[in-house]
């Protein structure tokens, strides 16, 4: 029997036999079990019993789902949506914060542009490859046909210039 424990319908539907879900155990009755108790039972009789069991579990499952959807308390409902609707004050404060962040970003961008202007073309190219594109210093050395130590010194000098200008 597969392990379908989500609900009784799934448990019964995807098993070979008829499943009874008791409080302390789950019991599956197969055709062989029914045949042992009732030798006159045919496979068609068992299939009809299984179909009846499936449809009964499905009706019960749908009824429970419908009931659960209707029986949500106001507290549960409000807690699900808590914090999703913002007050006008929160919206105003968030807009002020966003404006301040945009201004800070523009200021940092301007500083970065001025600082990048102080780098040599080689330093700028290597720094952007390393910091923005994520190319390793070893790969930069390989691409430029330079010594790895030379690349590291160039990146260090660029970092130093940028820190001094910000």
Rounded mean pLDDT of the chain?
Answer: 80
CB contact set of 163 (below 8 Å; sequence gap of 6+): none
In a domain, 104, yes or no: yes
Q: Is residue 142 part of a domain?
A: yes
Task: Compute the distance between CA of residue 24 and CA of residue 27 in angstroms, rounded to an integer.
Answer: 10
Least confident of 3-7, 83-87, 134-138, 145-149: 3-7
* Segment 28-37, tens digit of pLDDT: 878 888 778 8
Say whether both 97 and 156 belong to one domain: yes
Q: How many residues does the chain have?
A: 166
Least confident of 33-37, 81-85, 90-94: 81-85
- Cα dist. 32→8, 49, 119, 124, 143 in Å? 22, 14, 84, 80, 74
- The reply to whether 63 and 95 lie within a common domain is no
Q: How far apart are CA 1 and CA 40, in angstroms?
A: 25
Whether 78 is covered by a domain: the verdict is no
Better-predicted residue by pLDDT, 127 or 76: 127
Same domain assignment for residues 104 and 58: no
Give the count of domains, the chain.
Answer: 2
Specify the higher pLDDT residue, 22 or 135.
Answer: 135
Same-domain check for residues 93 and 140: yes
List, for residues 50-71, the tens digit of each pLDDT value: 888 878 877 877 777 776 666 6
The candidate with the shortest Cα–Cα distance to 166, out of 123, 111, 120, is: 111
What is the domain range of residue 47? 8-70
Please give the average per-residue pLDDT across 93-115, as a whole number: 84
Q: Say yes or no: 141 and 95 in one domain.
A: yes
Q: Which backbone phi and psi does 136 adopt, to 5 degrees? A: -70, 155
């Amino acid at each position: 029997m597969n392990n379908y424990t989500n609900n009784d319908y799934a448990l019964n539907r995807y098993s070979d036999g008829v499943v009874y879900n008791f409080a302390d155990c789950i019991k599956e009755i197969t055709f062989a079990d029914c045949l042992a108790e009732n030798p006159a039972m045919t496979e068609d009789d068992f299939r009809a019993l299984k179909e009846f069991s499936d449809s009964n579990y499905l009706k019960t499952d749908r009824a429970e789902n419908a009931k659960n959807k209707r029986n949500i308390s106001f507290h549960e409902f409000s807690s699900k949506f808590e914090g999703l609707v913002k007050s006008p004050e929160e919206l105003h404060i968030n807009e002020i914060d966003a404006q301040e962040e945009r201004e800070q970003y523009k200021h940092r961008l301007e500083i970065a542009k001025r600082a990048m202007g102080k780098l040599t073309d080689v330093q700028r190219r290597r720094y952007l490859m390393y910091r923005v594109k994520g190319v390793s210093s070893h790969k930069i050395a390989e691409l430029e046909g330079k010594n790895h130590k030379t690349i590291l010194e160039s990146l260090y000098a660029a970092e130093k210039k940028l820190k001094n200008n910000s």
